[in-house]
Amino acid sequence: MNGTAAELELHGVAKRFPALAHPAVDQVSLKAHQGCLLALLGPSGCGKTTLLRLIAGFESPDEGEVLLDGRSVAGTGGWIPPERRGVGMVFQDFALFPHLTVQRNIAFGLPAGDTSRVREVIGLVGLEAIEHRYPHELSGGQQQRVALARALAPRPRIIVMDEPLSNLDLQLRLHLRHELRAILKAEGVTAVLVTHDQEEALSFADEVAVLREGRLEQVGPPEELYLKPATRFVAEFVTQANFLPARAAEGGYDTEAGHFPSLENAPTESAVDLMIRQEDLALDLHPSGPAVILDRHFLGRGYSYVIGTPSGLRLHARTTAATSLPPGARVRLSTAPERLRAFLR
């Protein structure tokens, strides 16, 4: 950003496993600056965990280079083993040492006798009352905090987390997501979080990198990914939008569900998939409308609609509670021109 070396840099990193047809990680280049929270997002098997293990030093890359604070730790510049990388790690199942108390788990990576730092991180994650318990005596949320405190204690330059919240129930997950972000920001540590949950990635991270079959699809701030997905895969995975087959026409796109004006200029007559986010789809009651309401669910803060097109395609829409349309009603569909995106087929 401002000329200083990035905390974490990957240059064309690739990793193959014999059992896998495509490379687990394929030519990935990434950067994360000091204090940045980076999320690696993708479906299972996309290579995000392998990438994390390459950074931590539990796998070595077949190609490319991994740099921490400008220093090569894997690749052409040699090899630094995990214990000398200063990369803290938090696992999905926390991997707490079952034979040690909370306090001794946290002190594990510190020089013997450094009790002040232990005290400090115990305070940071709020574990004061339970520091003498053993891992099996803790709830899932407490175990998660211990794992985080243990990784933070030796003041790593960077901390990597493999699905750290996915073993917790939904309520706790939402709560800890914000707490985790606040703790990491307070420590000023650079963090990489692996997740398959797009909502978690978008709300937690400063930067999100979307991976698919080992390749980097797009990297950018959450808003950019959501508003300007670079590929159809990113659009589908990150925004869960509708895709409507369309043909480029004068000033917009023609579809079976009507004409959608657009600001984009696709080559005329080219076949595209039109991306319409659920919250962008406006529904207007009209007796000769091309689409029909099939089903609706009341969500409290609004409605979720299922809409059928003439060809039988199903679209999803979300509206405020003010728009109440009965199933069976015919509707016309529209969106704001600037919200529309088209992907060439």
User: Residue from 40, 151, 281, 283 that binds other proteins (CB under 8 A)?
Assistant: 151
Nearest by Cα to 216 from 7, 5, 50: 50
Measured from the CB atom, the residue of 38 and 96 that comes closer to other proteins is 96
134 touches other proteins by CB under 8 A: yes
Count of residues engaged in binding other proteins, rule: CB under 8 A: 29
- How far apart (Å, rounded) are the C-alpha atoms in residues 119 and 139? 21
Asked if 66 and 14 touch (Cβ cutoff 8 Å), the reply is: no
- How far apart (Å, rounded) are the C-alpha atoms in residues 31 and 311? 45
> In angstroms, what is the minimal distance from the CB of 89 to other proteins?
4
Q: If DSSP codes are grouped into helix, strand and coil, which group holds residue 106?
A: helix
Measured from the CB atom, the residue of 84 and 301 that comes closer to other proteins is 84
136 touches other proteins by CB under 8 A: yes
Token match 């914000």: residue? 178
* Backbone φ and ψ of 130, nearest 5°: -125, 20
100 touches other proteins by CB under 8 A: yes
> In angstroms, what is the minimal distance from the CB of 150 to other proteins?
7
Only segment of 85-93, 195-203, 249-257, 290-298 that touches other proteins (CB under 8 A): 85-93
79 touches other proteins by CB under 8 A: no
298 touches other proteins by CB under 8 A: no
15 touches other proteins by CB under 8 A: no
User: Residue from 18, 21, 44, 83 that binds other proteins (CB under 8 A)?
Assistant: 83
18 touches other proteins by CB under 8 A: no
What is the CA angle 259-265-268, rounded to 5?
A: 70
What is the CA angle 317-220-244, rounded to 5?
A: 30
61 touches other proteins by CB under 8 A: no
Burial class (CB in 10 A: 0-12, 13-18, 19+), 219: buried
Q: Please give the residue ranges that form the binding site for other proteins (CB under 8 A).
A: 56-58, 81-89, 91, 93, 95-100, 108-109, 134-137, 150-151, 154
